[in-house]
Structure 1
Amino acid sequence: GEFGLIARLDAALPDEVRRSTALELGIGDDAAIWRPSPGASVVITTDSLVEEIHFRLDWTDWASLGHKALAVNVSDLAAMGADPKLAVVTLGLRGSERLADLVALYTGMGDVARRYGVAIAGGDIVRSPFGLALHITALGELLGEARLTRSGARPGDIIGVTGTLGASAAGMRLLADASALRQAATADLLVQAHLRPEPRVLLGRVLREHGASAAMDLSDGLMGDLPKILAASNVSAEIDLRAIPVAAAVRALFPEQWLTFATRGGEDYELLFTVPEDRWAAMCEALADVGGQAQAVGRISPVEAMPSITVIGMDGVAREEKPGAFDHFAPGD
């Protein structure tokens, strides 16, 4: 039954995830009670993963699905420069799932929660006859006055990205493609980038503490997410495609598609940010100090009629680029 399942899933979580000093009351009551740190602002995000929209069960194992479900929520907190603290999980189940699979789901979720200091405080289980669905709400804290939002970019700011782009889209293509490419030595790294993204929590904190003017995580691709910063900040941008950091494995396996994967593929969950030029060098040094890296890919420019993106292509020629990303409600999707 439902209550027995809740008990089994609770038991699958590490002790430090089920209990924290700030969590006065967790799983098992009508609601959780959490005590934020004194003076902290609370940051709240929610995200959903729905079968056949965000994942396919023939492409992922259950532990990886649990990992990704929580990681994408933690990534939203990272993009705000927040410290993750708490999550509640709602499962929509057909009713035919095996207990061992659901335990594996929570084991994967619990591993992410343990590594990023998140307490799983409760949630709900409901019937979902048309497919598996995971809905997570996550909370974090901000101490001090500095904030990372989408609306702070200013003309002259450098546009940067952490890490490399395109690995997740390449991994998804490998999952969909049964050709010999799937046997390449580097293929598994790309598949894991898609199935088990890592939220950049520490890097988000560095961005906030060292004066980034705007930031967000890259869930919809560079050309899908950058326009959101431009619209919120009422600015335009110039992007140099030659500067975009792309993993060597993506270039090697997909010589004709790597640029599309890097700019429009999505689900890399790296951080896209802007920073005043005079703070760029110090920002890169601070990121390197914690094992991160950043690459300048463009610059913010003044808006004219409306926010726009000018792209310098691989041929060095500048042209206006049409934004693009996955839209759940676009015709034909």
Structure 2
Amino acid sequence: MRVASSGRLVREVGEFALIDQITRLVGSVASSRLRIGIGDDAAAWRPRPGHDVVITTDVLIERVHFRLDWTDWGSLGHKALAVNLSDLAAMGARPRLAFVDLGLRGSERDQEVLDLYRSARKLGQRFGLVIAGGDTTRAPNGVVIAVTVVGDVPKDGRPLLTRSAARPGDLIGVTGPLGLAAAGLRVLERGLKTLDGSPAMQEAYHRPQPRVREGLLLRRCGVRAAMDLSDGLLGDLPKICERSGVSAIVDLFRLPIPNAIKWGFSDWRDLALRGGDDYELLFTAPPHVFERVCRAFRRAGLRPPFRIGQIVEAGTEGPQVKLRNVLGKLEVVEPGGYTHFKV
């Protein structure tokens, strides 16, 4: 029996409204060393002048974020670390250390747990990251994985990427295709494994690729505004607009949505733009900086980013996201992507 308490049900409040309440509560205590707090992809702490430490954390819970009958333990370890690396990539930071907290029923096999750590270690080694510790405990209701990643920033005088630095006139870019992971989840839910493109969709869902190199290049090229796409384009772009006090126009014909998604799902637009779990980087930059980014990506052997729209002044109605079709017609869209605690 629960102890009686006041307040509204969390599922009625909603995930982002709850985060706003928490921010107002804990964000009221200022610290000169906390450079970036709640509201971006990661926090930034300055222990001494000229040295920024970037910290992020994320939790994966069985039957909320994954199902063990759909995924193997190696893929689970990869994804648990990848979603945190993506947060650091969105800030333009270098990952250094990871701490893994693991809750287990006790009925798992030791080799399954080791497979999880092997896969996480392999991914971390690609970026010079070391798994430095963590905790294990009993979790009778299902597997829980909580990962914290610590990174730092090259001493080049350039600021971290944030959600509040978009400006009118900026172009909007993304580092890769949209909707593959959401389509992969749909494939698993509906048993559509013979669908064209199904293997790539499932791979994107199980093993997202964090854009760490891309994030470092964005910051080095002079980009100021970015975040990772975890809640879908129409869930995350409004966050940049709100934090920056601007609006955005997205060109539908420019969106990098694979044809397999358009052919395979009648609701392909919502699936690709609101489904989430893309873990590509979304950024804005002035046109000359955007061109610099494209050249830098090519020199590094990376696919250049896709230009998908532009940032404009927010009107009297406040920050908005509008979709523009090939004929130039604008459609105001309701912001929203993946969210926990849906009623």
1:154 aligns with 2:167: yes
Distance 2:327 2:287 in 1: 26
Distance 1:262 1:251 in 2: 9
Q: Provide closer, same or farther for how the CA distance between residues 78 and 312 of structure 1 changes in structure 2, counting only shifts above 3 A.
A: same
Whether the aligned pair in 1 keeps the contact of 2:231 and 2:339 (CA below 8 Å) is no
1:216 aligns with 2:227: yes
Distance 1:70 1:80 in 2: 16
Give aligned-pair identity as a percent.
Answer: 49
- The amino acid that maps onto 1:202 is R
Which of structure 1's runs of 4+ aligned residues deviate more than 6 A?
none
Whether the aligned pair in 2 keeps the contact of 1:159 and 1:273 (CA below 8 Å) is yes
- The amino acid that maps onto 2:290 is W
Per-residue CA deviation, residues 119-147 of structure 1 (Å, 9 max, x unaligned), is: 10100011111111100110111022222
1:237 aligns with 2:248: yes
Q: How does 1:101-250 map to 2 (within 5 A)?
A: 101-143=112-154, 144-146=156-158, 147-178=160-191, 181-184=192-195, 186-250=197-261
Deviation, 1:46, is 0.5
Distance 2:172 2:91 in 1: 16
TM-score by length of 2: 0.82
Distance 2:274 2:89 in 1: 21
Deviation, 1:186, is 2.8
SS at the partner of 1:250? helix
Whether the aligned pair in 1 keeps the contact of 2:102 and 2:137 (CA below 8 Å) is yes
Match of 2:329? 317
* Partner residue of 2:111 out of 100, 116, 121: 100
Q: Provide closer, same or farther for how the CA distance between residues 192 and 235 of structure 1 changes in structure 2, counting only shifts above 3 A.
A: same
Deviation, 1:247, is 2.2
1:84 aligns with 2:84: no
SS at the partner of 1:279? helix
Deviation, 1:152, is 0.4
SS at the partner of 2:193? helix
Match of 1:283? 293
Distance 2:324 2:119 in 1: 41
Whether the aligned pair in 2 keeps the contact of 1:220 and 1:267 (CA below 8 Å) is yes
Whether the aligned pair in 2 keeps the contact of 1:74 and 1:138 (CA below 8 Å) is yes
Distance 1:250 1:190 in 2: 9
- The amino acid that maps onto 2:179 is G
Whether the aligned pair in 2 keeps the contact of 1:167 and 1:268 (CA below 8 Å) is yes
Distance 1:237 1:316 in 2: 14
SS at the partner of 2:113? helix
Distance 1:288 1:259 in 2: 29
Whether the aligned pair in 1 keeps the contact of 2:161 and 2:219 (CA below 8 Å) is yes
Deviation, 1:241, is 1.3
The gaps in structure 2 that reach 5 residues or longer are 1-46
SS at the partner of 1:116? coil
Per-residue CA deviation, residues 265-308 of structure 1 (Å, 9 max, x unaligned), is: 11110000000122222211112222122111111111223211
SS at the partner of 1:249? helix
Match of 2:34? none
SS at the partner of 1:122? strand
The gaps in structure 1 that reach 5 residues or longer are 1-35
Whether the aligned pair in 1 keeps the contact of 2:273 and 2:337 (CA below 8 Å) is no
Distance 1:153 1:233 in 2: 6
